Amino acid sequence: MIILGIDPWTATTWFAVLEKEGKRVTILEYGVITTRAGVDFSDRLVQIGTDLSEIIDTYRPTICGMERLFFLRNVTNGIDVAQAKGVMIYILATRGIPLIEYTPLQVKAGIAGNWFAKKPQVQKALKMLLGLTEIPKPDDAADALAIAYLTSLKIK
């Protein structure tokens, strides 16, 4: 089974693709979808949709986990990210890929066992859980890996 994890943003959307065979979980790829600042916002949304479609076409995930948006201060940024997330959800829905959403606290607790874990704790836990030789970097990539890993736990 192939699992896609997404940490949604506008300028940089991080993704991770995992494969689960039995209880073994393997990283197939992780990286970033980037959009250029200064271009029309609608063009940025098209870029996100195009790049996500390419990832889906390459790996054919059967399920996707995505971080739920949570903004306290910068509402304008939150609206932009919500629009980008809408594009991502549309792409997933048209491909019939089920989506599970997680709050940041759920991700921290699910990976590090602590609702208030800091990013280095999550990275260290991922290193152990995925049998990595190094801590996954940057920390946003680790967030996408964590989301994908949590989603893999939902699969029997």
Using the structure block, give the residue that is written with the tokens 């874990």: 117
Looking at residues 3-24, what average pLDDT do you find? Answer: 95
**Predicted pLDDT at 51:** 98
Output the six-digit token pair for 9.
Answer: 């943003």
Q: How far apart are CA 95 and CA 122, in angstroms?
A: 31
What CATH architecture does domain 2-152 belong to?
2-Layer Sandwich (3.30)
> What is the pLDDT, as a whole number, of residue 75?
67
Give catalytic status of residue 21 as yes or no. Answer: no
Q: pLDDT digit string (tens) for 89-124?
A: 999 999 999 999 999 999 999 999 988 898 889 999
Catalytic residue among 19, 80, 101, 140: 140
Catalytic option among 29, 43, 67, 139? 67
Q: Which two tokens mark 88?
A: 């991502």
The segment with the largest mean pLDDT, out of 28-32, 78-82, 140-144, is 28-32
**Segments making up each domain of the chain, as ranges:** 2-152
Examine the pLDDT at 141 and tell me if it is beyond 80: yes
**Would you say the pTM of this structure is higher than 0.75?**
yes
Catalytic, 140? Answer yes
Which one from 7, 51, 57, 80 is the annotated catalytic residue? 7
**29-76 pLDDT per residue, tens:** 999 999 998 999 999 999 999 999 999 999 999 999 999 987 656 666
